[in-house]
């Protein structure tokens, strides 16, 4: 039996006496905001004004009652599902325990501290910033390139202290559920489920631990509820069931189902007829392996689900909010709607934030999305040689592996993010170097295997073939490729790289203008204003955006058009990389771009901004990640057209490729019907020589369309024959007709001439459109839809729709401004170093 202690609490800054209302779960920042005690740190340059919050101690308290019947329990446990981070907990004035790790659950036996009637709980939080500062002065650490030095000594999200996309806003608080648990006689421990797949059948071996509190005769029962409604039952703490006709768990693109089949394992512990404890675990029946075998290229890195090799398509996930208690069920639904919209089959939960929580994993289980989970170590050397720190981490590992390993969506345990890449900077810190290898290449996997013997493990990302061996080579393991953006290489540079798996690459853009209006006023609309520099955490980030925009487009005269151009530049770059790796499926096995989301309103690599506005990249991902799609490998005088099938079945399609005039439409046409085999990439057209060169680069383009066997157009891809700034795009007139019905607005569009990168927007709604940032050929008609939010009138939404294309962007043509910005970017010492490090293509590693 549980009694929640969530809800209304009181809090105060520890050195002040005034008490204020607080909400639990929550954190000190959101409580301060709710009480009007600080200005919104996400607005303007308020972030700096809130530094005192992380540098202060805080105290939370409340009263609660416990009945005589509850006190009759054999034991009472005070439980914190998450508490951030350095807390001392008092019951009725007595210290009952301390916490030191944000990433694990804490429970304390407290019956002897309670009394029937009213009780008081008080939680005192020490400043995480001051703690880190003090321990760094005392014990030192490798200097931190992403924020405060010494943060490796505290087990809380490292990005709280700042990152190259995140603010320095360091919260504390009771961030998860807190409750009393009343127990009699015994409790259940962790439930483990092993699967054996053989001859089309699945054997489940289930074991439940029991934790005795007092002597007493107890009985355990195990049941499995199957998707077809049948229930398997057995008595005892362990059970074995054979499922003759298993419904296998797949990613949604392989199952073609919106909801995946799950089996519900239920364990009950009873004393006589009294239920003492109960646990339920939902599992999916599947096999999942990470193929690391040697092949003709080097060494594979391919996920294999139920015997089917996967091309992983997705993105990296950072914390959904700097204050995670604000990530509620409504926002989670928007988050996963965006994942599905973008046709992603894998998410990497990055190692500088949080572990995926149960709600996140359950959503992935249900919808069929694989999860790559980093352990929470990133970009720095950690003091594993310190016994107290190592013991703390071991408890963190045990808790999270036990909690997560039964989820069918869990595809990989990854030891860390980019720690081996930082190795060269640690030379004076020999203990850190030695123990990094010991921990990630020995201790960590051994701790995992005590609980989880099945989920694949890699020591870190990127990874090669050994400690600091092969991590920067494309032909083995997993790669992070930052030659574009950080290394300032051309946007199509990725075509030179044949990564076996690329789990990080990306490109920055501005957030949606509606989000910008939330943190900046019009007088701040300058990329070099204090406000925009405060909301850009990457060194030279805003200048790099301008640098890359100018490489392809003319710079715009209006600030708002920088938003549009930065987003389409980001979109084109990430699409080109992903499509290249998909064309080389088998040699390349995955593309997870950096990054999926933001934790605050910021200029960043995200495809969706903090307010869930879809950027151009998010819309394009729906097209370039689609299981059946087209891509084009274009070069001077040649067009190679590919059709992709990521489904586990044959697909009949018709591919059409043609050149077109910007004014007159189709010129030459190539047409082919084909049956794509499962998981096939087919090169359907190779058009080269005079068939390409005879067309004017300034007046013509190339288009590929893919149709289903019923004649429905599945997708369209347009390739220009030169950069947009070198082309005389016609002034296209797009006629727009809107209709609103049944909470949906339809926008019917028709272009009289070629319209490049058509953008549909509304200034009163953040709801996504069915498509956006697409091309319209002369005379082409297209319909886009948008759901009407609850707080917006249908007609008002229809009237707010605005449509532009590239030809509507007023050009500045300021050569001096472009040259000055280019000089600023290329003369930066950090950029020079990155160019030297990241230029070229690494040689293959012999294996």
pLDDT, one tens digit per residue, over 217-266 is 899 999 999 999 999 999 999 999 999 999 999 999 999 999 999 999 99
Edge-to-edge strand list for the sheet holding 681-688:
628-635, 638-645, 681-688
3-class SS of residue 741 = strand
Report the pLDDT averaged over residues 754-777: 96
Taking 80 as the threshold, does the pLDDT of residue 763 lie above it?
Answer: yes
d(CA 830, CA 819): 19
pLDDT, one tens digit per residue, over 330-352 is 999 999 999 999 999 999 999 99
Report the pLDDT averaged over residues 694-700: 87
pLDDT category at 215 given cuts 50, 70, 90 is confident
Report the pLDDT averaged over residues 486-494: 95
**Which pLDDT belongs to residue 724?**
94
SS3 content of the chain, % helix, strand, coil (to 5): 25, 35, 40
**Which pLDDT belongs to residue 664?**
87
Q: At what angle do helices 541-552 and 815-826 cross, to 10 degrees?
A: 130
Distance of CA 632 to the CA centre of its chain: 27
**Which pLDDT belongs to residue 812?**
85
pLDDT, one tens digit per residue, over 356-388 is 999 999 999 999 999 999 999 999 999 999 999
**Which pLDDT belongs to residue 130?**
98
Give the ranges where 127-283 is alpha helix by DSSP (H).
128-139, 252-255
User: Taking a C-beta distance cutoff of 8 angstroms, is the pair 718, 693 a contact?
Assistant: no
* Summary mean pLDDT of the chain: 95
**Which pLDDT belongs to residue 689?**
85
pLDDT, one tens digit per residue, over 752-762 is 999 999 999 99
**Which pLDDT belongs to residue 1?**
84
d(CA 145, CA 25): 32
Distances (CA, A) of 684 to 247, 671, 673, 743: 36, 9, 9, 41
Give the rounded percent of residues in the chain with a pLDDT score beyond 70. Answer: 100
Report the pLDDT averaged over residues 413-438: 90
d(CA 347, CA 349): 6
Tell me the whole-structure pTM to 2 decimals: 0.96
Q: Are strands 370-374 and 410-414 parallel, antiparallel or unpaired?
A: parallel
d(CA 108, CA 180): 10
Higher pLDDT, 667 or 249: 249
Nearest to 401 by CA among 348, 368, 445: 445
Burial class (CB in 10 A: 0-12, 13-18, 19+), 670: middle
Taking 90 as the threshold, does the pLDDT of residue 428 lie above it?
Answer: no
Taking 90 as the threshold, does the pLDDT of residue 814 lie above it?
Answer: no
What are 318's two structure tokens?
A: 């950072």
pLDDT category at 276 given cuts 50, 70, 90 is very high
Residue 759's φ and ψ, nearest 5 degrees, are: -120, 125
3-class SS of residue 150 = coil
pLDDT category at 91 given cuts 50, 70, 90 is very high
**Which pLDDT belongs to residue 263?**
98
DSSP secondary structure letters along 274-337: EEEEEEEEEE-B--EEEE--B-SSSB--EEEETTEE--EEEEEE--S-SSGGG--HHHHHHHHH
pLDDT, one tens digit per residue, over 599-646 is 999 999 999 999 999 999 999 999 999 999 999 999 988 999 999 999
């Amino acid at each position: 039996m549980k009694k929640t202690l969530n809800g209304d609490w009181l809090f105060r800054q520890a050195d002040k006496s005034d008490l204020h209302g607080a909400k639990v779960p929550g954190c000190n920042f959101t409580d301060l905001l709710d009480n009007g005690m600080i200005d919104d740190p996400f607005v303007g340059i308020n972030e700096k004004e809130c530094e005192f919050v992380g540098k202060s101690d805080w105290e939370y308290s409340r009263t609660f009652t416990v009945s005589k019947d509850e006190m009759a329990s054999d034991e009472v446990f005070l439980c914190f599902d998450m508490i951030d981070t350095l807390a001392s907990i008092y019951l009725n004035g007595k210290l009952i325990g301390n916490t030191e790790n944000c990433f694990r659950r804490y429970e304390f036996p407290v019956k002897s501290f309670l009394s029937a009637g009213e009780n008081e709980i008080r939680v005192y939080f020490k400043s995480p910033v001051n703690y880190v500062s003090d321990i760094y002065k005392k014990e030192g650490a490798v200097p931190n390139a992403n924020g405060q030095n010494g943060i490796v000594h505290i087990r809380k999200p490292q990005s709280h202290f700042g990152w190259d996309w995140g603010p320095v806003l360091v919260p504390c608080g009771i961030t998860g559920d807190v409750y009393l648990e009343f127990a009699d006689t015994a409790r259940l421990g962790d439930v483990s489920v092993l699967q054996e797949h053989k001859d089309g059948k699945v054997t489940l071996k289930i074991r439940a631990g029991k934790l005795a509190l007092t002597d007493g005769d107890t009985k355990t029962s195990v049941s499995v509820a199957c998707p077809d409604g049948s229930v398997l039952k057995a008595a005892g703490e362990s059970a074995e069931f054979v499922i003759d006709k298993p419904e296998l768990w797949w990613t949604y693109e392989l199952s073609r189902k919106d909801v995946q089949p799950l089996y519900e394992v239920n364990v009950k512990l009873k004393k006589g007829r009294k239920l003492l404890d109960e646990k339920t675990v939902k599992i999916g029946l599947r096999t999942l392996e990470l193929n690391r075998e040697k092949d003709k290229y080097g060494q594979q890195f391919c996920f294999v689900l139920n015997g089917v090799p996967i091309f992983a398509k997705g993105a990296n996930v950072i914390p959904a909010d700097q204050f995670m208690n604000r990530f509620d069920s409504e926002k989670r639904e928007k988050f996963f709607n965006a994942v599905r919209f973008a046709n992603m089959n894998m998410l990497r939960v990055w190692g500088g934030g949080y572990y995926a929580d149960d709600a996140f994993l359950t959503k992935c289980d249900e919808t069929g999305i694989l999860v790559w989970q980093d352990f929470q170590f990133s970009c720095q050397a950690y003091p594993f040689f310190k016994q107290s720190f190592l013991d703390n981490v071991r408890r963190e590992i045990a808790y999270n592996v036990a909690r997560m390993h039964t989820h069918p969506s869990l595809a990989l345990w990854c030891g860390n993010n980019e720690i081996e890449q930082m190795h060269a900077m640690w030379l004076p810190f020999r203990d850190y170097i030695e123990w990094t290898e010991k921990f990630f290449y020995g201790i960590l996997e051994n701790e995992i295997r005590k609980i989880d013997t099945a989920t694949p493990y890699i020591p870190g990302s990127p990874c090669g073939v050994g400690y600091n061996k092969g991590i920067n080579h494309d032909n083995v393991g997993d790669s992070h490729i930052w030659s574009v953006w950080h290394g300032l290489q051309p946007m199509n540079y990725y075509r030179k790289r044949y990564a076996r798996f690329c789990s990080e690459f990306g490109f920055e853009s501005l957030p949606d203008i509606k989000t910008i209006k939330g943190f900046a006023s019009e007088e701040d609309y300058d990329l070099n204003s204090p406000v925009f520099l405060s909301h850009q955490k990457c060194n030279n980030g805003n200048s790099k955006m301008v640098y890359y925009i100018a490489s392809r487009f003319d710079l715009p005269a209006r600030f708002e058009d920088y938003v549009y151009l930065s987003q389409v530049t980001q979109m084109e770059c990430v699409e080109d990389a992903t499509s290249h790796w998909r064309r080389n499926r088998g040699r390349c096995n995955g593309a997870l771009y950096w990054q999926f989301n933001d934790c605050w309103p910021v200029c960043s690599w995200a495809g969706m901004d903090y307010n869930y506005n879809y950027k151009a990249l998010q819309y394009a991902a729906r097209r370039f990640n689609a299981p059946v799609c087209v891509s084009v490998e274009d070069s001077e005088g040649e067009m190679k057209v590919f059709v992709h099938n990521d489904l586990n079945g044959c697909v009949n399609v018709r591919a059409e490729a043609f050149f077109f005039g910007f004014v007159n439409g189709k010129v030459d046409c190539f047409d082919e019907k084909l049956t794509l085999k499962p998981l096939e990439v087919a090169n359907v057209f190779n058009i080269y020589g005079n068939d390409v060169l005879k067309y004017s680069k300034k007046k013509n383009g190339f288009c590929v369309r893919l149709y289903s066997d019923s004649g429905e157009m599945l997708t369209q891809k347009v390739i220009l024959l030169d950069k947009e700034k070198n082309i005389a795009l016609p002034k296209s007139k797009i006629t727009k007709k809107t209709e609103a019905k049944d909470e949906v607005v339809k926008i019917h569009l028709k272009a009289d001439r070629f319209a490049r990168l058509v953008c549909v927007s509304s200034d009163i709604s953040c709801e996504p459109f069915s498509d956006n940032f697409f091309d319209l050929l002369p005379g082409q008609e297209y319909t886009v839809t948008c759901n009407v939010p609850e707080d917006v009138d249908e007609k008002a939404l229809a009237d707010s729709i605005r449509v532009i294309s590239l030809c509507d962007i007023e050009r500045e043509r300021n050569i001096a401004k472009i040259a000055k910005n280019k000089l600023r970017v290329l003369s930066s010492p950090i950029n020079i170093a990155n160019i030297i490090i990241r230029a070229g293509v690494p040689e293959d590693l012999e294996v």
